[in-house]
Amino acid sequence: MAHWTPADIPDQTGRTALITGANSGIGLETARELAARGARVILAGRDQTKLDEAVATVHAATPRAEATTLVLDLSDLTSVRRAAQRIAATETIDMLFNNAGVMNLPTRLTTRDGFEMTMGTNHLGHFALDALLWPAVRRSIAARVVTVSAIAARWPFGKLDDLMSDYNYSGMAAYAKSKRANIVYTLELARRTVHTPIEAIVVHPGSAMTSLQRHGTGALTRILTPLAARMLMGSPAGAAWPSLYAATTPDITSGEFIGPAGRDQTSGTPRPAKLPKGAADSELGARLWADSERLTGVTFQL
């Protein structure tokens, strides 16, 4: 496979991208690169001030960029419904990036709707958002839904039992579980849209020093995180490559899992990656889909 970089992204004029978690890190880099190639970008996040700062960053790189904001809190289904209603009514979404997330929360917290915070934000919030945005996605003649998972999805304690971590909680186990749910959900979405022009792709960004890593606690984390940043992790710009590749490469296949090709898959040019064991199980996908509809109260009308 040839070495791919964002310089290979074709012209995106006339296409609209909605990116969750777009005020920083991978989401902001994704918005910046797409705007530079002519796409209209909608930056979604919880804080309007931070979103305005992110738009300013996009405009600093591409002064004539079309960039707007959408206030969205994925841990609050009322906020999800409000944000989606605004978009679904009139917009056409050609690229939908399920990018936002939380990681390694030291104690078990719950969303406003009573879900474990990591699963509620990383998976259930995005599931509900996608379902409610679907009229805008269907208006596109060639839409792509790109969901950002993580290498952690392969960890053995990330299995999708005890979905809300009611019986046993650790921050990293909850994160791994939510990232596996991202993959299982995306593969099920690909199966359910197989006879449509919509493609669903899941990616993992490798390792990058973003705001997610700052949730770690304890002396060991404080020592190792800066070391990891220097020795193991790539930049947020590089970590956005799999998302950008998945959204814009012409010959991508719905249902693919894309990650960086470098050593230990921490960075490098994007390429197809190995799925976690069992993630492609259609029965697991159907079960997670049904559980997600039941928990959120949102029916996904494909």
- Residues marked active site are found at 175
Residue 2 has pLDDT above 90, yes or no: no
With a pLDDT cut of 70, the percent of the chain lying above it is: 89
> For position 145, what pLDDT does the model report?
98
Which has the higher per-residue pLDDT, 2 or 183?
183
CA nearest to 297, candidates 41, 80, 60: 80
> For position 192, what pLDDT does the model report?
98
**Mean pLDDT value across the chain:** 91
The H or E element that residue 135 is part of is helix 126-138
pLDDT average, residue stretch 62-83: 98
| Domains of the chain and CATH, by start | 11-293 (3.40.50.720)
> For position 142, what pLDDT does the model report?
97
Tokens linked to 15 = 């296409």
pLDDT tens profile 130-144: 999 999 999 999 999
Hey, is 272 helix, strand or coil?
strand
pLDDT tens profile 186-232: 999 999 999 999 999 999 998 654 445 444 444 444 434 443 443 33
CA nearest to 126, candidates 287, 289, 241: 289
Would you place residue 159 in the very low, low, confident or very high pLDDT band (cuts 50, 70, 90)?
confident
